[in-house]
């Protein structure tokens, strides 16, 4: 566990055994796995948006899922397992949609090398926990790069809280959804 997303972080650095907020290690690790899965969805979401495909629903899902990872918004491990499963299902469905659209637009298959978060798949809680351990913030060795990535991710968490609240009230915005997908793809 390595969580440094709020001002309550242990020693003003990070919570590494149990959160000062009460977050358990399993919850923190599942949240890291969820962020990894969301990056895979965002990879294809960003590509799909560039082809003009509608991605609002995926952007709103990313907002809902990221909001769930904020400090003490949700400590329910089962909820995070369900969100990871949905992120993987959405990613694979969007991938098929994007690859077909790319072929139709370009007259050839998409041939870029895919990052691991665009291809990783697993089905159970244990596998999600194992992935979360391996993709924690500490997986980024350079502390400056890690700090920049966490700055972006934690900023997107805050943005997502407002996007999700607005969506519940009936206000949705394509540009914000596309930005969220692009930022998750590029920097989180
Ligand atoms: S969200 Fe909880 S676990 Fe994370 S830094 Fe804040 S107090 Fe620690």
Nearest alpha carbon to residue 37 among 116, 114, 110: 116
Q: Judge whether residue 114 has pLDDT over 70.
A: yes
70 lines ligand 1 (CB under 6 A): no
Q: Quick one: what percent of the chain has pLDDT higher than 90?
A: 95
The overall average pLDDT reported for the chain is 96
* Average pLDDT, integer, range 123-146: 95
- Considering only CA atoms, give the Rg of the chain: 16
Pairwise CA distance, residues 179 & 188, whole Å: 12
State whether the beta carbon of 19 lies less than 6 angstroms from ligand 1.
yes
- In this model, does residue 111 exceed pLDDT 90? yes
Confidence bin at 187 (pLDDT 50/70/90)? confident
**CB of 23 sitting under 6 A from ligand 1:** yes
- The predicted structure's pLDDT at residue 69: 97
Q: Whose CA is nearest to atom 4 of ligand 1?
A: 3
Q: Which of 1-10, 83-92, 158-167 has the lowest mean pLDDT?
A: 1-10
**Mean of pLDDT values over 74-91:** 97
Q: Using alpha carbons, list the distances in angstroms from residue 154 to 3, 157, 160.
A: 11, 5, 10
Mean pLDDT of 152-170: 97
Q: Are 5 and 150 in contact (CB under 8 A)?
A: yes
Distance 141 CA to ligand 1 centre (A): 20
Pairwise CA distance, residues 155 & 19, whole Å: 20
Give yes or no for residue 147 having a pLDDT over 80: yes
**Cα separation, 184 vs 62, whole angstroms:** 9
How do residues 85-109 score in pLDDT, each as one tens digit? 999 999 999 999 999 999 999 999 9
pLDDT band at 176 (very low <50, low <70, confident <90, very high): very high
Q: What is the pLDDT of residue 188?
A: 64
Q: Where are the alpha helices (DSSP H) in 10-142?
A: 25-50, 56-68, 77-106, 125-134
Domains of the chain with CATH codes: 10-186 (1.20.1270.20)
Q: Which atom, in ligand 1's list, is nearest to the CA of 5?
A: 5
* Overall average pLDDT of the 127-141 stretch: 95
Is residue 163 within 8 A of residue 180, CB to CB? The reply is: yes
Ligand 1 centroid distance, CA of 83 (Å): 20
Cβ neighbour number for residue 13 with a 10 Å cutoff: 9
């Amino acid at each position: 566990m390595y969580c440094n997303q709020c001002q309550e972080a242990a020693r003003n650095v990070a919570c590494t055994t149990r959160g000062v907020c009460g977050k358990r290690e399993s919850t923190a690790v599942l949240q890291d796995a969820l962020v990894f899965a969301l990056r895979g969805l965002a990879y294809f979401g960003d590509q799909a948006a560039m082809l003009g495909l509608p991605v609002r629903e995926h952007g709103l899902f990313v907002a809902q899922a990221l909001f769930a990872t904020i400090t003490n918004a949700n400590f329910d491990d089962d909820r995070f397992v369900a969100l990871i499963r949905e992120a993987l299902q959405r990613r694979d469905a969007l991938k098929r949609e994007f690859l077909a659209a790319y072929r139709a637009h370009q007259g050839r298959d998409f041939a870029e090398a895919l990052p691991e978060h665009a291809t990783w798949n697993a089905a159970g809680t244990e596998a999600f926990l194992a992935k979360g351990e391996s993709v924690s913030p500490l997986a980024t060795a350079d502390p400056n790069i890690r700090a920049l990535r966490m700055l972006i991710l934690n900023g997107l968490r805050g943005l997502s809280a407002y996007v999700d609240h607005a969506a519940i009230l009936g206000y949705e915005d394509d540009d914000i959804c596309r930005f969220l997908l692009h930022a998750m793809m590029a920097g989180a």
